[in-house]
Homo-oligomer: A and B are copies of this chain.
Amino acid sequence: MQVVKMIIAYDGSQFFGWQRQNKHRNVQGEIEKALKKILKQVIEIDGAGRTDAGVHALGQVATFGAVVPMPLDNLKRALNNELPIDIVVKALSFESNDFHARYSAIGKTYVYKVDNSPLRDVFKSGMYHYPYDLDLELMKAVAEKLVGYHNFEAFKASGSSAGNPFRTIHSIEIKKEDNQITMTFSGDGFLYKMVRLLVAFILGVGNKRIPLDVVDEILKNPSREFTSKVAPARGLYLREVFYN
C-alpha cells in the first residue's frame, strides 16, 4: 500500500463541485471511477479542498492509498486517457504514509478573474463579467486592510457550520491588464465561500458602493451588512495547495 499525491486541474463549469454525490457530475467521482478502472481496486481519494459547483482548479491536490503495480508516469498517462476532457492529472508522486491532501496542507492560493469590459466576451466564461466602474487604488487599499490574522466571520457563507472564524491571509494581489482584473489570495485557509465574499466586497469598495473604512469595523465586529453578495463561481480558481 502506497500513498499517492495527485495534482489535478479541472474546468469546473460542467461539474456540481468536487465532492462525490450520486445525482450530479462531480470531479471526485470521475477520478475515482478512472482509478478503479485502471488499478482494479475501489479507491477513495481525499481532496485538499471541496470546490463548489462551477469553481475551477489549476492545482487541486488529492491523495489516495493503493497498491500501484506500474510506474507513476504510466498511471498518469492511463488516467488522462480515461478521464473526461475537463479534468487532467498534472502530476503524481509517492508520499510518506502520514501525508494527507487536506490535513497536511498549510496554505492555499486562489485566483479570481474579473472581466471589466463594457461588453461581455462570450469566450471568457471563466471570468466574472463586471462592466461597472472600478477604482483600482481603492481595491488595493481595502485588500491591504484584509491581509493578516483576522476574524473573518462576516466573510463566511451564512448557514455554514460554526467553528473558528479566525484565519490568516498572507497576501492579496490585485492586477489589471487590459480590461482583465486578477485577484490572487494566499492564506493558511479560507472559510466556506470566503474568497467569493471577499471578491464581491472588494468590488463593492472599488465601485464606491461600500466605503473603504467599513472594513475595519467588519473585522472587529462581524456584521453581514456589507457582505451579503457572493461573486459567481465561474471566476474562481484553486491555484495551489501548500505543504511543508
Contacts and interface: CB of A to CB of B under 8 A. Distances in A.
Interface stretch (A80-88, A146-154, A191-199): A80-88
A221 interface: no
Contact of A125 (B86, B121, B122): B86
A11 interface: yes
Contacts of A86: 122, 125
> What interface size band does chain A fall in?
10 to 19
A100 interface: no
Contacts of A129: 85
B88 A120 contact: yes
A88 B121 contact: yes
B120 A123 contact: no
Given A11-B123, A88-B121, 19 more contacts: A9-B121, A9-B122, A9-B123, A10-B122, A11-B125, A56-B123, A80-B119, A80-B120, A85-B120, A85-B122, A85-B125, A85-B129, A86-B125, A87-B122, A88-B119, A88-B120, A88-B122, A90-B119, A123-B126
